[in-house]
């Protein structure tokens, strides 16, 4: 008996598109608020669904960053960065892991500064 093969279309997720395994699809929709995806029995059905979705949603205007509209009185290193509209990060790690990593890096830098000060003055 032949194994059934399915195709998954991620309409809204981390990276939208057609995937040939649930594992690849789940990576794009797990921990993504408002993810939209669907399973299809053939690549042709998945491709038709994806094409129809793109045609319907291709008229949506996504605002691109307008650097000319930023105030010019910011110091060069303090120019604000436009965040993602949905609050998602490009990191594949959960936010709490990123915060823990930042805390660890800060602690290591603090310890190194402390050791340099001890070495210089004592």
Tens-place pLDDT, residues 83-107: 444 555 555 667 777 788 888 899 9
Pairing of strands 36-40, 17-19: unpaired
Asked if pLDDT for residue 70 goes beyond 80, the answer is no
For 1-122, list the strands marked E by DSSP.
7-12, 17-19, 36-40
Query: Whole-angstrom Cα distance, residue 36 to residue 13?
Result: 7
- CA-wise closest residue to 36 among 58, 17, 55: 17
Query: Whole-angstrom Cα distance, residue 26 to residue 21?
Result: 9
- The token pair that represents 46 in the structure block: 């998945």
What percent of the chain clears pLDDT 90, i.e. is strictly above it? 24
């Amino acid at each position: 008996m032949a194994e059934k093969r399915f195709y998954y279309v991620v309409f809204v997720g981390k990276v939208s598109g057609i995937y040939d395994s649930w594992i690849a699809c789940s990576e794009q929709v797990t921990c993504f608020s408002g993810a939209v995806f669907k399973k299809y029995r053939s690549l042709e059905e998945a491709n038709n669904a994806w094409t129809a979705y793109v045609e319907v949603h291709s008229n949506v205007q996504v605002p691109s960053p307008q650097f000319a509209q930023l105030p010019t009185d910011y110091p060069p290193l303090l120019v604000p960065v436009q965040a993602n509209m949905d609050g998602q990060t490009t990191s594949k790690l959960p936010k709490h892991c990123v915060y823990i990593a930042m805390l660890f890096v800060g602690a290591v830098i603090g310890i190194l500064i402390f050791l340099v000060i001890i070495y210089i003055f004592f």
